[in-house]
Amino acid sequence: MPYTKDTPRISVKIYDSKTEELLITINDRNWMNVGEIFTQNIVTSLINDEFKNKKKTKPQKIIMMIAEEYTLND
């Protein structure tokens, strides 16, 4: 019974490191462009954009997680 992916695409999720609150989800990426796209400058820009019109303060630390979903085939 192998596990298979429904799609070759992956999701990138960014969390507040302290509270584990999900801040941003970016769908439809692939393994090749995750490292190229999510540089320090891009992540900084994403967080700044996310908090631009919010009264909340930006988190001191964030966690970026790359996620894929696999389905067990019977």
Q: For 6-42, how does the pLDDT look when each residue is reduced to its tens digit (9 = 90+)?
A: 888 889 999 999 999 999 999 888 877 787 788 899 9
Tokens coding 63: 């966690």
User: Does the structure show a pLDDT above 80 at 71?
Assistant: yes
State whether the Cα torsion 38-43-49-51 is positive or negative. positive
User: Does the structure show a pLDDT above 90 at 54?
Assistant: no
With cut-offs at 50, 70 and 90, classify the pLDDT of residue 49: very high
Range of the domain at 15: 3-72
Stronger pLDDT, 52 or 36, i.e. the higher one: 52
| Domains: count for the chain | 1
With cut-offs at 50, 70 and 90, classify the pLDDT of residue 74: confident
At residue 37, what is the residue type? Answer: I
Of 62, 4, 60, 66, whose CA–CA distance to 33 is shortest?
66
